[in-house]
């Protein structure tokens, strides 16, 4: 039987974890990207090389968009495309923490159809295929059912709660995780009530997590409430909100942006 796209991503994520954990705790090269785009390590590039070879060999007609690859001029002509973050949470990886993830997704005509967020050091494999539900290590997951924004536990950075972003700053408990992909997965799992990011957001950071959230039963949008579409000419989206339908609407109503 041919390997499904989700099976392909799960296998690739496991191999990514094997490569990355081989670097973890050892000495490896690290440097900063241009224009303040953050750090990159030899581990990021090693994982990216493997993924580009293995995934593109398995699906040669799929396009390619990755944080650690040079832009591909023909990617927008592709019907389907891989959207990859080899290591999401590189700073956490460098610090020796275990809250970094591999984020692998496939989009078809702008919609995510398969996605995996894998944290090898925590043995957490979040996975979803369109129309098939969302799972953590093979067990179905669902988001929080909380219906009041006041008192909610929200994953977001501190600047997201500056008063200029809100018509009224909600009284919530703010939490943080270094990997944006992991934040989305935690909300899909119901560990937290919602997540949001209000700055420009790279597609590879959220592509897999968006599908996992939606298949778990949550609602996603950009910070303005518009649907999220992928494989754009500029692969940056205007922020993101993810939560159950009630909290998503309340967050969007409270935002001034």
> How far from the centroid of its chain's Cα atoms is residue 17's Cα?
16
Residue-wise DSSP of 55-116: HHHHSTTSEEEETTSPPPTTGGG-SEEEEEEEEE-HHHHHHT-S--EEEEEEEETTEEEEEE
HSE, CB side, 13 Å, CA atoms: give it for residue 128. 30
**Rounded distance, CA 251 to CA 257, Å?**
11
Find the helix packing angle between 203-216 and 180-189, rounded to 10°: 0
**DSSP structural state of residue 142:** -
The single residue listed with the structure tokens 């997590």 is 209
Parallel, antiparallel, or unpaired for β 63-66 and 101-108? unpaired
**Rounded distance, CA 127 to CA 133, Å?**
9
Residue ranges at the known binding site for Mg(2+):
67, 85, 87-88, 205
Residue ranges at the known binding site:
67, 85, 87-88, 205
**Shortest CA distance to 248 belongs to which of 105, 151, 149, 161?**
149
**Rounded distance, CA 56 to CA 145, Å?**
39
Helix (H) / strand (E) element for 112: namely strand 111-119
């Amino acid at each position: 039987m041919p390997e499904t796209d989700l099976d392909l991503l799960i296998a690739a994520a496991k191999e990514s974890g094997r490569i990355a954990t081989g670097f973890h705790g050892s000495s490896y090269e690290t440097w900063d990207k241009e224009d303040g785009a953050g750090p990159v390590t030899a581990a990021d590039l090693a994982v990216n090389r493997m993924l580009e070879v293995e995934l593109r060999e398995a699906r040669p007609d799929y396009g390619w968009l990755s944080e650690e690859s040079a832009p591909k001029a023909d990617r927008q002509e592709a019907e389907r495309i891989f959207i990859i973050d080899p290591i999401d949470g590189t700073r956490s990886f460098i610090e020796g923490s275990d809250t970094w993830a591999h984020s692998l997704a496939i989009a078809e005509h702008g919609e995510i159809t398969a996605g995996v967020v894998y944290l090898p050091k925590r043995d957490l494999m979040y996975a979803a295929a369109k129309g098939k539900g969302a799972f953590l290590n093979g067990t179905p997951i669902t988001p929080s059912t909380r219906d009041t924004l006041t008192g909610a536990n929200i994953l977001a950075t501190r600047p997201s709660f500056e008063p200029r972003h809100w018509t009224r700053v909600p009284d919530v408990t703010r939490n943080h995780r270094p990997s944006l992909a992991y934040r989305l997965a935690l909300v899909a799992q119901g560990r937290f009530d919602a997540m949001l990011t209000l700055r420009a957001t790279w597609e590879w950071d959220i592509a897999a997590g968006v599908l996992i959230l939606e298949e778990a039963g949550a609602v996603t949008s950009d910070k303005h409430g518009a649907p999220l579409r992928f494989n754009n000419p500029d692969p940056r989206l205007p922020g993101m909100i993810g939560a159950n339908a009630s909290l998503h609407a309340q967050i969007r109503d409270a935002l001034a942006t």
